[in-house]
Amino acid sequence: MLKKFRCPECVKSFALEQDCGDHIDVVHLNKKPFECDECQCEFATQSNFTAHISKIHQLHVRAIHQKIKDSECDLETSYQSALQGPVDSVHRNFRPFKCDQCDYAAIEKSKVKTHYRAVHLKIKDRKCEECDFEAATASNLQSHVNSVHKKLKPFKCNQCDYEALHRGNLNRHIRAIHQKN
């Protein structure tokens, strides 16, 4: 198949215009449109997102657009656990990977490495092109750009005027403000 759509940023070419656009979004703009409802990790591709859900949360993808309520915390999610009780990482604070310099722990080894670089080595090598902000991760830089410079807050509370950049922040807001018992 003829690859007639060339990325203006690099040498890659694509047969489909949509594939070229997806490449630009993911590789050059660092867009990560798939966010985990459970831990707010973001992913560039659906396959990586689905693998994360299965591996980290031991959840099996059910109908993507069908929301299911967690009986333990009333969290709405698109996933249903596979014949298990509540997910350890969410309800029992299961964090098997530990930082050897402090009390930080995470559900993924890569998160501990990122934490170590940012907190203990103080490496912030992602620089904002519009201001002096520096970030340790590409996703933190993208969040900064989206919230500070683009003023994006796509997740809106249906009970008040609260708006959030990330779905996880909206979920926390709803639990803390509107589900107090």
Per run of 10 residues, the mean pLDDT along the chain (length 181 residues) is 81 81 80 72 76 66 44 49 40 72 82 86 91 86 86 87 85 86 56
Same domain, 162 and 135: no
CATH number at residue 131: 3.30.160.60
pLDDT tens, residue by residue, 14-24: 877 777 887 88
User: What's the whole-model pTM score?
Assistant: 0.43
| 170 within domain boundaries | yes
| 22 within domain boundaries | no
> In whole angstroms, what is the distance from residue 154 CA to residue 147 CA?
10
Domain span holding position 130: 97-149
Locate tokens 């509540």: which residue? Answer: 86
CA angle 36, 70, 174 (to 5 degrees): 70
Tokens coding 103:
């009390």
| 113 within domain boundaries | yes
Domain count of the fold of the chain: 3
pLDDT tens, residue by residue, 6-47: 888 888 888 777 778 878 878 887 777 777 766 777 877 777
CB 175 within 8 A of CB 73: yes
